């Protein structure tokens, strides 16, 4: 009997210990209940956000707190904290939404929501730190089921402590009765450790354009997989109204294996992968969306509104816990050629019954007029955007900002009011004496710059609006401005990054240790630039001249991660830097692009992971690329540096298509010359500003529509549409095939600059025509006299003579009148300021005009030939 009791007692004690090992969620729910937000009485969901489901399981109800959106295409967010402190796992989802009111919902996990309000406009962001998509719903989708033993990890040391729900209200006609919406999702969570961790892989096209009336348009996405094996168990497709079918595949050794294929017009659920698919290192994940532009009168682009389109293929996967990655994305097409072999099924639309379409879309007859008006407005906007694509960037020669008295111009930015902000060095100069071999600043005795280093100008007339930054900095470098108007600057002498308020009076945040270079988490070594994510608030610093890395900090300045390494011998590999000099944050595509200066290229990385995406490199960049700037809508601007000895690439600005990397246009100033253009910034109307650290000036460039120089027929008469004489000169030069000969290009620049100094084109033309007419009159008279006196032999002699005279005017090439050489041969004409600068790369180069020290900066010691610094 005693033995029996012992046998029963041992399992009981073991079970009791196990029970004590788990902290009952009920012990934590009371604390949670005190902090939860009450829902509107109109909400139909449970008034108990947390419901115990047993010893270690519980349900968490996440609902909008009774909202009424006021306009279509509103994105609203709300957050709910994880009600337990320890690690937990989401193992099931149950949506509560209808397509009648909600276009789609996304659930994110993170540690710090963008707001502490009951709910907020998602334009303010979802999370301040990195966020992961846990769940997505749209179009009356059924619940998602996770395999046994699989869960999304939340809480603890590595998982997010908050859930953020984002709801997109597309068409708000259902809210005419002013009712309150409480859409959301219920989560089933457990505190039992799961052996397999779930994650989300998002494949998304970002640059697809659907022409109006086009029957079939394909959007293809493909990425190489470079991580530990993952197992795919569910997929979801998402487009708007023009999508016909979306298919996803794993491609291994040329073999295409279907992950999932579905019509996006059916309920957009996570459907189970019918046959298990695993993905290993170096496999390719590929997806295709098939669209039709029939019924549209204008181009349709990828975008966030209901009248735009999307091409998304979501994959739910699981990995072993020790290798788990919670979120990955793919937004490129790494191998367009391989889609020639895509299975034919990917091109065949899936038929959808009309009653299913009505159920899925939740159409309302009374919204037809609203939709029509919205479509017309969208069409007008798209037509304007299409016209804007045919443009050329030219200097705004009337802009008086070129006459400003500045120090070395190191940084430019536009504030939220679109004012131009200049960051310059006043009377300080970066030269060969500024740093020792260990990058310690050697001129501290000079003290900080006494002049205002930050100038805010009216971009139209260059009028000074305000100035700041006295006695704060030693050697200014990078400048950016966040969406709240705060200034973010770097100082290469102090080895620090500063956040200044809009008044610029005091530092709100300082990163790095003053005057101490270093390479750890708390030090920088001559940091060059800073960028702030407008969505998450994350801070990215390019570090720098003597480090080769990008560092990410939280909005509060806490170190999060870094990536990058020094360039190895031979060809620079992805993720390697030789002076990461300038940053451009592209929130549209969640990318950060870096001007890798001495490698003469742009590298773009994924914001959330630092994963390399692509390189943009052109021969015309030359050996150096100084700065890069992005304009919403898909344009990338950049400026390069002086060519190395033997190089022929001119110093110029570039306009590129961000999606393709293709150069659309190049530009140079008409007044003065680029010497070392150090930074560039552009606005959405394609107004561009370039700051030059050597010339100590800022140029303004504007967009000129090429259509303004075309010939049009009015009442049967061809009319040449023109604006200004200077514009005509530039247009004619640009319409000629651009010569690769530097001498010809230099002559062309002489002509343009001479026109811009105030000499009228009409006056020049008149001065040239008069002597030619007189000369021809003399020749005709002589020919008549010769014919009269000498006969036919005189004709031959005169032709030879006149040919020699006109030949001298035309120049050796005989290709037209060379005004550059023509003016240069006249007394009083000066080339000062117009000749091509010396291509010597020395940091000790002198200014020939005044004999003072060069305004060039010194760089970190690079491999020979030594580049200049800035």
Q: Please identify every residue annotated as catalytic.
A: 103-104, 166, 168, 238, 240, 310
In 3D space, the residue among 667, 536, 654 whose CA is nearest the CA of residue 602 turns out to be: 654
User: Residue 527 and residue 543: Cα distance in Å, rounded?
Assistant: 4
**Residue 358, SS3 per DSSP:** helix
Question: Which long-range contacts does 735-744 make (Cβ < 8 Å, 24+ apart)?
Answer: 735/709, 740/648, 742/648, 742/650, 742/836
| 761-789 vs 725-735: helix crossing angle, rounded to 10 | 70
Burial of residue 38, with CB atoms counted within 10 A of its CB: 0-12 exposed, 13-18 middle, 19 or more buried: exposed
**DSSP state, residue 857:** B
**DSSP state, residue 66:** S
Which two tokens mark 241? 């109204």
User: Residue 500 and residue 510: Cα distance in Å, rounded?
Assistant: 9
Q: How many of the other CB atoms lie within 10 Å of CB of 731? A: 17
Report H helices in 276-367.
Answer: 354-361
Phi, psi of 630 (to 5 degrees): -115, 140
User: Residue 222 and residue 243: Cα distance in Å, rounded?
Assistant: 19
**Residue 718, SS3 per DSSP:** strand
SS (H, E, C) 353-422: CHHHHHHHHCCCHHHHHHHHHHHHHHHHHHHHHHHHCCEEEEECCCCHHHHCCCCCEEEEEECCCCCEEE
Q: Quickly tell me which residue has 């460039």 as its tokens.
A: 701
Whether the Cβ atoms of residue 248 and residue 235 lie closer than 8 Å to each other: yes
**DSSP state, residue 265:** T
**DSSP state, residue 309:** B
User: Residue 247 and residue 263: Cα distance in Å, rounded?
Assistant: 9
In this structure, the dihedral spanned by the alpha carbons of residues 671, 672, 678 and 682, taken in order and rounded to 10 degrees, is 0
User: Residue 75 and residue 416: Cα distance in Å, rounded?
Assistant: 22
Instruction: Judge if the upstream peptide bond of residue 173 is cis by omega within 30 degrees of 0.
Output: no
CA 171 to chain centre: 29
Q: How many of the other CB atoms lie within 10 Å of CB of 448? A: 18
User: Residue 298 and residue 307: Cα distance in Å, rounded?
Assistant: 11
E strand map for 146-298: 150-154, 162-169, 184-190, 196-204, 209-210, 217-224, 230-238, 243-252, 255-262, 271-279, 284-291
Which two tokens mark 448? 């900080």
Which two tokens mark 785? 């006299």
CA 765 to chain centre: 45
Instruction: Judge if the upstream peptide bond of residue 803 is cis by omega within 30 degrees of 0.
Output: no
Which two tokens mark 687? 């107004």
Q: Quickly tell me which residue has 């390019």 as its tokens.
A: 542
Beta-carbon contacts of 137 under 8 Å, excluding residues fewer than 6 positions away, are 95, 97, 104, 105, 185, 268, 269
Sign of the C-alpha dihedral, residues 256, 262, 268, 270?
negative
The CA-CA-CA angle for residues 606, 610, 612, to 5°, reads 70
The CA-CA-CA angle for residues 220, 226, 231, to 5°, reads 80
User: Residue 679 and residue 688: Cα distance in Å, rounded?
Assistant: 11
User: Residue 502 and residue 468: Cα distance in Å, rounded?
Assistant: 10
């Amino acid at each position: 009997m005693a033995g029996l009791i012992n046998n029963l007692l041992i399992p009981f004690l073991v079970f009791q210990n196990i029970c004590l090992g788990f902290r009952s969620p009920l012990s934590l729910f009371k604390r949670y209940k005190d902090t939860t937000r009450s829902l509107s009485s109109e909400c139909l969901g449970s008034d108990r956000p947390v419901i115990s489901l047993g010893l270690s399981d519980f349900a968490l109800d996440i609902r909008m707190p009774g909202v009424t959106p006021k306009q279509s295409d509103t994105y609203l967010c709300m957050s709910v904290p994880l009600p337990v402190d320890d690690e937990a796992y989401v193992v099931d989802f149950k949506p509560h939404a209808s397509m009648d009111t909600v276009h789609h919902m996304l659930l994110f996990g993170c540690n710090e929501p963008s707001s502490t309000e009951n709910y907020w406009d998602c334009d303010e962001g979802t999370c301040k730190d990195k966020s992961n998509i846990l769940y997505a719903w749209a179009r009356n989708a059924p619940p998602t089921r996770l395999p046994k033993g699989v869960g999304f990890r939340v809480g603890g040391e590595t998982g997010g402590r908050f859930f953020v729900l984002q709801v997109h209200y597309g068409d708000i006609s259902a809210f005419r009765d002013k009712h309150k919406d409480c859409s959301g999702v219920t989560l089933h969570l457990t505190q039992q450790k799961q052996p397999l961790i779930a994650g989300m892989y998002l494949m998304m096209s970002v640059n697809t354009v659907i022409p109006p009336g086009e029957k079939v348009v394909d959007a293809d996405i493909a990425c190489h997989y470079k991580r530990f094996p993952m197992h795919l168990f569910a997929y979801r497709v998402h487009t708007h109204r023009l999508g016909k079918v979306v298919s996803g595949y794993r491609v291994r050794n040329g073999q295409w294996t279907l992950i999932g294929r579905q019509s996006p017009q059916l309920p957009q659920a996570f459907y189970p992968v019918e046959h298990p698919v695993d993905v290993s290192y170096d496999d390719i994940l590929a997806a295709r969306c098939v669209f039709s532009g029939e019924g549209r009168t204008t181009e349709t682009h990828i975008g966030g509104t209901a009248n735009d389109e999307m091409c998304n293929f979501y994959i739910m996967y699981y990995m072993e816990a020790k290798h788990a990655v919670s979120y990955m994305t793919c937004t490129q097409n790494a191998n367009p050629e391989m889609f020639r072999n895509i299975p034919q099924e990917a091109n065949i639309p899936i038929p959808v019954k009309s009653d299913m379409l009505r159920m899925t879309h939740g159409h309302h007859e009374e919204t037809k007029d609203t939709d029509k008006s919205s479509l017309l407005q969208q069409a007008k906007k798209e037509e304007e955007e299409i016209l804007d694509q045919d443009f050329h960037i030219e200097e705004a020669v009337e802009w008086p900002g070129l006459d400003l008295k500045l120090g070395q111009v190191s940084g430019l930015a536009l504030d939220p009011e679109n004012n131009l902000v200049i960051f310059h060095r006043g009377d300080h100069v970066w030269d060969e004496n500024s740093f020792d071999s260990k990058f310690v600043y050697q001129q501290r005795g000079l003290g900080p710059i006494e002049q205002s280093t930050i100038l805010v100008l009216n971009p139209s007339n260059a009028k000074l609006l305000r100035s700041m930054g006295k006695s704060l900095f030693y050697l200014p470098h990078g400048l950016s401005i966040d969406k709240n108007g705060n200034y973010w600057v770097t100082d290469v002498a102090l080895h620090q990054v500063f956040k200044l308020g809009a008044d610029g009076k005091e530092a709100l945040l300082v990163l790095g240790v003053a005057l101490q270079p270093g390479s750890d988490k708390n030090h920088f070594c001559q940091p060059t630039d800073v960028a702030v994510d407008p969505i998450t608030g994350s801070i990215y610093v390019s570090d720098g001249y003597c480090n080769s890395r990008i560092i990410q900090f939280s909005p509060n300045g806490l170190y999060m991660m870094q990536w990058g390494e020094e360039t190895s011998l031979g060809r620079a590999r992805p993720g390697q830097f030789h002076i990461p000099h300038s940053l451009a944050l592209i929130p549209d595509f969640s990318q950060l692009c870096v001007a890798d200066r001495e490698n003469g290229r742009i590298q773009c990385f994924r914001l959330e992971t630092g994963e390399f995406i692509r390189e943009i490199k052109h021969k015309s960049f030359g050996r150096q690329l100084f700065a890069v700037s992005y304009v919403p809508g898909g344009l990338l601007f950049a400026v390069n540096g002086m060519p190395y000895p033997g190089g022929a690439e001119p110093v110029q600005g570039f306009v590129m298509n961000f999606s393709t990397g293709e150069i659309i246009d190049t530009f140079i100033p008409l007044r003065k010359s680029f010497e070392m253009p150090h930074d560039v910034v552009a606005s959405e109307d394609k107004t561009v500003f370039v700051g030059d650290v050597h010339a100590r000036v800022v140029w303004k460039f504007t967009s000129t529509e090429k259509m303004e120089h075309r010939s049009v027929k009015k009442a049967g008469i061809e009319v040449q549409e023109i604006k200004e004489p200077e514009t005509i000169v530039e247009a004619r030069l640009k319409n000629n095939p651009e010569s690769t000969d530097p001498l010809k290009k230099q002559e062309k620049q002489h002509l343009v600059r001479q026109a811009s100094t105030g000499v009228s084109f009409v006056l020049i033309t008149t001065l040239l025509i008069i002597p030619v007419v007189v000369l021809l009159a003399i020749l005709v008279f002589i020919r008549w006299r010769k014919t009269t006196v000498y006969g036919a032999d005189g004709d031959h002699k005169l032709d030879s003579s006149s040919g020699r005279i006109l030949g001298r005017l035309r120049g050796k090439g005989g290709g037209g009148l060379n005004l550059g050489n023509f003016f240069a041969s006249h007394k009083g004409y000066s080339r000062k300021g117009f000749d091509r600068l010396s291509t010597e790369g020395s940091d000790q180069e002198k200014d020939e005009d005044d004999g003072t020290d060069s305004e060039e900066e010194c760089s970190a010691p690079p491999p020979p030939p030594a580049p200049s610094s800035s």
